[in-house]
Amino acid sequence: MELTDREVAEAAIKSGAGNVDEIMQKMAEHKGCETNSDGGKKASCGTEAGENDLPPEIWEKVKNHPCYSEEAHHHYARMHVAVAPACNIQCNYCNRKYDCANESRPGVVSERLTPEQAAKKVLAVASTIPQMTVLGIAGPGDPLANPEKTFKTFDLISKTAPDIKLCLSTNGLTLPDHVETIARYNVDHVTITVNMVDPEVGAKIYPWIFYKHKRYTGVEAARILTERQMQGLEMLTERGILSKINSVMIPGINDEHLKEVNKAVKGRGAFLHNIMPLISAAEHGTVFGLTGQRGPTAQELKRLQDSCEGEMNMMRHCRQCRADAVGLLGEDRSAEFTTEKIMEMDVNYDLATRQAYQARVEEERNAVAGAKANELQILAGEDSDIKILVAVATKGSGRINEHFGHASEFQIYELSTGKGAHFIGHRRVDLYCQGGYGEEDALETVIRAIKDCHAVFVAKIGGCPKKDLAAAGIEAIDEFAHEFIEKSAITYFKRYLEGVKDGSITHVDKGDAEIRPGEVAVDVVNETVAAE
Amino acid sequence: MSYKIIASQCTVCGACEFECPNAAISFKNETYVIDPKKCTECEGEFDHPQCDSVCPVPQTCVPA
């Protein structure tokens, strides 16, 4: 009998093959796939899942880009280099005394790099993290307000590491002037931050812009900005460059209006829309922080994302990362790659090793996708209006493989008979195991962050937190430790529905939860674990 | 007649360096400085000094 990918993976786990590489090796042997890459073609290796119904040329562009493909972000990493400190507009959610507040956690100042330093850093990271496939320039100012530095960096990297995808993130004010250059450097992905298409709304978000040697303010500034953004987006679409739109959701200012933004950008060919919650706190020193402007709650954000989710893809896995972030989304390894450390590194850029590693990642990825394909069948015949959320503690690779107390974030899945297990976002939490201080408070923080969930799936959990979670109406489940996320969640959901049917479970709606955006630096996590 | 940069307020973003029509602004000792010999306060070229127009921090590029 032909074994499924999932069965092979499970057998590998049971036989004691603990690490991912061994498992992937076994799976590759089983399937007779070669582990050397031939440009990512995988037709002979079965599943093509994750592609949804994207045209092949678009899938080819997004499949290894963690920001453009939710599924890819479990497997591939990105990095940003902070070569662009200057900006040409002012946003009320940004205080450039630190960095762009939208890109940074407070009190953490990034190092600025010259293009030459940036190129060396990219090679150092690419050699250390072979699944790093994407280089972005996202500030800390605006990449296109620093065009010489931005394009010099792209030029250096495209010569020394031609396999790395290039992308940039801009406010769009000078985008129309640079689209030709962007196309020339084969930049495949451009993100534009669009918070409004109505200058009256814009005037509440942007105090001023600097355009053609003049500072503009108020409605006039916002009108110029929106015209330039839309023109730039149209020019990108004409040239086949994929564009993602980032929007900051600011309750009471642009929350309802973002539906109009969604229509406007969809109509101009944007590929993906990423609605992010406003990060706002007085200590950031931003205008919104000082005026007490609040950010949205988890359910407010989800409702808006749901209402915009039609023909256009919504991004829900954004971590609002720093302009110098390094690693998988959800982790930040930038501390390993400071300028000082990089300059001491002896970098040997080995393309063959990178390709071999990435081929293995593809094997693991296919296994997850293959497992997923059969899972919906578990729910066959079930039809219910009930939708519940569950939280998952994971280190990646699509499995429930993190200890409750070590999780720095939880991934949130919505379970329904229509869509099965549908990823809807993540929630950052303070580390629960903090080695000595405020443990109870930390647990309360976790509960506040996931209190709209019915259950939390973990690799392991202690008795006390389990009891406290139960008191908050959240069931802690460790029976699916190291299993694939979706299948476990669906199995749980089927059992839940059966419980509701036979009366042993009374279904209740859970309330709302808090958003704590951002990433937790990996070195902090490691220190905390080491201190235990 | 010349402008100067209040170093304690400067974020060192460098936006002014590119906008200065006289190339009077340079990066020295971890901050940006305006060469008073080159600065014209943009007179005859722009309505307002470019360094102050682009600077993100109010009252940082000011008359010397």
Q: How far from each other are the two terminal CA atoms of chain A, in whole angstroms?
A: 47
DSSP type of residue A127: H
| C-alpha distance from A207 to closest chain B C-alpha (Å) | 11
Q: How many residues are listed for chain B in this entry?
A: 64
* Average confidence score pLDDT of chain A: 78
Sketch out chain B's domains with CATH numbers.
3-63 (3.30.70.20)
Lowest-confidence segment of A87-91, A158-162, A335-339, A477-481 by average pLDDT? A335-339
Residues in A closer than 8 angstroms to B15, CB to CB, are: 85-88, 141, 145, 210
- Residue A523: which pLDDT band, with cuts at 50, 70 and 90? very low
Q: What is the ipTM of this complex?
A: 0.87
What's the pLDDT score for residue A138?
A: 84
pLDDT of residue A438: 44
Of the ranges A318-332, A509-523, B2-16, which one carries the lowest mean pLDDT score? Answer: A509-523
What is the distance, to the nearest Å, from the Cα of residue A466 to the centroid of all Cα atoms in its chain?
28
- B 5-44 residues inside an 8 A Cβ radius of A: 11-15, 18-19
Task: Output the pLDDT for position A30.
Answer: 37
Lowest mean pLDDT among A66-80, A198-212, A498-512: A66-80
Chain B residues whose beta carbon lies within 8 Å of the beta carbon of residue A92: none
A87: chain B residues, CB-CB within 8 Å = 13, 15, 56
What is the average pLDDT across A516-528? 43
Structure tokens that stand for A3 in this block: 């074994």
Q: Does position A39 have pLDDT exceeding 50, yes or no?
A: no
Per-residue tokens: A158: 């495209």
- Sign of the CA dihedral with A279 first, then A283, A286, and A289 last: positive
Distance CA A431, CA A425 (A): 18
Distance CA A344, CA A285 (A): 36
| Residues within 8 A of B (CB atoms), A 192-221 only | 210, 213-215
The predicted structure's pLDDT at residue A52? 54
The answer to whether the CB atoms of A87 and B15 lie below 8 A apart is yes
pLDDT for A83-133, tens place per residue? 888 889 999 988 776 554 444 432 234 567 889 988 888 888 888 888 788
3-class DSSP assignment, residue A288: helix
Res. A153: pLDDT tops 60? yes
Nearest to A113 by CA among A326, A307, A313: A326
Helix (H, G, I), strand (E, B) or coil at B19: helix
Nearest CA among A328, A336, A339 for reference residue A526: A336
Interface residue of A89, A214, A216 to substitute, partner B, most B CBs within 10 Å: A214
- Any idea what the Cα angle at residue A389 is, between residues A388 and A394, rounded to 5°? 145
The verdict on whether omega for the bond into residue A140 sits within 30 degrees of 0, i.e. cis, is yes
Q: Could you tell me if B13 and A86 are in contact, meaning their C-beta atoms sit under 8 angstroms apart? A: yes
Does the pLDDT value for residue A6 go beyond 50?
Answer: no
Structural domains of chain A in order of their starting residue, each with its CATH number: 64-337 (3.20.20.70), 379-531 (3.30.420.130)
Confidence bin at A511 (pLDDT 50/70/90): confident
Dig out the tokens for A13 from the structure.
């786990």
Residue A221 has pLDDT above 90, yes or no: yes
Report the DSSP pairing between strands B25-28 and B31-34: antiparallel
**For range A453-477, the mean pLDDT:** 91
pLDDT given at position A354: 82
**Portion of chain A with pLDDT greater than 70, in percent:** 78
The pTM (predicted TM-score) of the whole model is 0.74
CA distance A160 to A427: 37
Chain A CB contacts of B11 below 8 Å: 85, 96-97
Q: In sequence order, what DSSP letters do the residues of A357-423 get, joined into one string?
A: HHHHHHHHHHHHHHHHHHHGGGGTT---S--EEEEE---BTTB---BGGG-SEEEEEEEETTTEEEE
pLDDT surpasses 50 at A272:
yes
Range scoring the smallest mean pLDDT among A183-187, A276-280, A399-403, A528-532: A528-532
Give the model's pLDDT for residue A53: 60
Judge whether residue A193 has pLDDT over 90.
yes
Other Cβ atoms less than 10 A from the Cβ of A382: the count is: 15
CB nearest to A96's CB, from B11, B19, B48:
B11
The model's confidence at residue A19, banded by pLDDT at 50, 70 and 90, is: very low
Give the Cβ contact number of residue A478 at 10 Å. 16
The answer on pLDDT for A520 being more than 70 is no
Q: Which residue has the higher pLDDT, A372 or A17?
A: A372
Is pLDDT at A454 greater than 90 in this prediction? yes
